Structure 1
């Protein structure tokens, strides 16, 4: 099962979706579009950046001279705390809608304009994890569904180069969370164990797709991966959301983030683009079927300039990939855990 080098489909047990795997297509010549190479020569502070310390944002507010992580309300948030109107949601099955209220926040990972996650020190990464935790705990008092995520790189739609993430919190369950909640609850009802706990145990035993593991966290290219170098970061402890993390688990998470994001950058010696997001259990009393985890969806396929586009069949039928999860895992396993920029500096 660990080396399926023929055309086949794989099922994602978290949401029930399937992905078509076509390993033979990975050798086809590429004459399609390429992305522009991003030059990693950003300054430590950019006077025109609305996220840098001391600078003025679009709404006229001035950032403090922050020295670690910094959180503020998104000036252009997709959600607002108040509904636009008090009218009831329509019951028409063809034109159904419902009110959506919530909060959107921005997290600047560092005061330095040119430091992405893999370039932060371990202490700085712990500060990021602690900020995720404190923000989650605060928002969980008001909202049921809390999304903590990062879009890294212009090809993933990131509009500001200053390294940052976002938090969107609301009371409705987003489509992905609702789907994962149902799948994990069904698995637990049938087996009496958490789906991702069993999955992590199987992957650790196999080691085929494991990229990194420590006492508290596992990084794996999931068997059902759709994106070329997709990874899943899973809590090995019985943890359902960020509020449950202790200091040792937070430190171990910072270590896992450091290794994974460094390996990403080292694949093509570039600032590796991705969308990353944490899936916490919906805020409720009993969520034993859940396990806290994060998804990393990187679009780069063959080089720093060749992107996997989800078009055609992927949009109209189901996800499709050429590179098998096992091959992607081998590439990530072989990638150095020391950032390529440090290697270049040592060699110069």
Structure 2
């Protein structure tokens, strides 16, 4: 039963808390509104720097690709050359090395993951797995993610994702590793394995499931319609996925993401990303379970978003819509 009064929920993967204030959903809204962007995009846009045969912003010309297309980011956030190493007991700088790539999901300028065929989504899944294996052989951590939509800062409307591989563990990954390691040390089972089993018992937060995956609104969700995709079974990294797991991943993405689009009848924006065991751990990663986070910003409609401001910036994350209510809304759009 959802608590109708203010309460805090603990994020098991980071140890941080989320303030939940259900009573605030009754407040009126006269804040920012804007028209939704056009959803009807062409199959090919001659001005798009990610479409086949077009020139990219870095000067290279894309091949006439027919499936997924991966290339080195023309403006990477990480380089193979290292930066400074400085520590004067107050201000600290550490070198950061890595490489970045872009994944065009399809030559079709309009083919988001939600709109792609099952075959197209499966090609993206295989690409994710191949890249994780390849870059993981050289770098400590491989972060695969997508910023979908201008609202989330996407620099191009052409459906695409990114990969940043680094010689260090990013802060969030480090927190997740520590929390999962601590739980495994105490209980002898992966933390997200325990979460999945609990949610499979009939949770209000369950969205979809198949043999190899479950999709839930996590108990500690911070964003209004945040979801968590968890692999079932001893899967630590994307490259560990077998044929059945990959097929089921394509299937559950084809269930969840179109439901997002139907929720507010819009091309639903989000930031999503994969978290698997950091490759620097080698085989010492029994505490990890592969999972993906989806963080959509929309709150009440296609043009009303959740802003992390005020108390969220200065205190801790706060949400009005309970995770259980959000799950009910998303389930209502699943076909």
Q: Give me the whole-angstrom Cα distance separating, in 2, the residues matched to 1:244 and 1:99.
A: 30
Q: Give me the whole-angstrom Cα distance separating, in 2, the residues matched to 1:280 and 1:140.
A: 11
CA positional deviation for 1:59:
2.0
What whole-Å deviation, never above 9, does each CA across 1:176-196 have from its counterpart, x for those lacking one? 000000000000000011000
Q: Which residue of 1 aligns with 2:7?
A: 8
Matches within 5 A, 1:51-90: 51-84=50-83, 89-90=85-86
Q: Which residue of 2 aligns with 1:208?
A: 204
Contact 1:79–1:103 at 8 Å: present in 2 too?
Answer: yes
Q: Give me the whole-angstrom Cα distance separating, in 2, the residues matched to 1:268 and 1:311.
A: 23
Q: Which residue of 1 aligns with 2:134?
A: 138
CA positional deviation for 1:35:
3.5
Q: Which residue of 1 aligns with 2:312?
A: 314
Q: Which residue of 2 aligns with 1:275?
A: 271
Q: Which residue of 1 aligns with 2:21?
A: 22
Contact 2:223–2:306 at 8 Å: present in 1 too?
Answer: yes
CA positional deviation for 1:318:
0.3
CA positional deviation for 1:92:
2.1
Normalised by the length of structure 2, the TM-score is 0.98
Local SS of the residue matching 1:63: coil
Contact 2:58–2:75 at 8 Å: present in 1 too?
Answer: no
Contact 2:256–2:334 at 8 Å: present in 1 too?
Answer: no
Q: Which residue of 1 aligns with 2:218?
A: 222
- The RMSD of aligned alpha carbons is 0.9
Deviates more, 1:39-48 or 1:179-188: 39-48
Normalised by the length of structure 1, the TM-score is 0.94
Equivalent of 1:114 in 106, 110, 119: 110
Q: Give me the whole-angstrom Cα distance separating, in 2, the residues matched to 1:95 and 1:251.
A: 48
Contact 1:219–1:231 at 8 Å: present in 2 too?
Answer: yes
Q: Give me the whole-angstrom Cα distance separating, in 1, the residues matched to 2:202 and 2:173.
A: 28
Q: Give me the whole-angstrom Cα distance separating, in 2, the residues matched to 1:22 and 1:173.
A: 33
CA positional deviation for 1:33:
0.9
Contact 1:35–1:307 at 8 Å: present in 2 too?
Answer: no
Where in structure 1 do 4 or more consecutive aligned residues deviate above 2 Å? none
CA positional deviation for 1:285:
2.0
Q: Give me the whole-angstrom Cα distance separating, in 1, the residues matched to 2:313 and 2:202.
A: 32
Local SS of the residue matching 1:117: coil
Contact 1:231–1:297 at 8 Å: present in 2 too?
Answer: yes
CA positional deviation for 1:324:
0.2
Equivalent of 1:297 in 295, 298, 313: 295
Unaligned 5+ runs, structure 2: none
CA positional deviation for 1:36:
3.0
Matches within 5 A, 1:227-238: 227-238=223-234
Q: Give me the whole-angstrom Cα distance separating, in 1, the residues matched to 2:321 and 2:266.
A: 20
Q: Give me the whole-angstrom Cα distance separating, in 2, the residues matched to 1:208 and 1:64.
A: 47
Local SS of the residue matching 1:149: strand
From the superposition, tell whether residues 253 and 302 of structure 1 become closer, same or farther in structure 2 (CA, over 3 Å).
same
Aligned length: 333
What whole-Å deviation, never above 9, does each CA across 1:71-91 have from its counterpart, x for those lacking one? 00000110011125xx6x222
Matches within 5 A, 1:146-295: 146-283=142-279, 284-295=282-293
What whole-Å deviation, never above 9, does each CA across 1:197-225 have from its counterpart, x for those lacking one? 00000011033100000000010000000
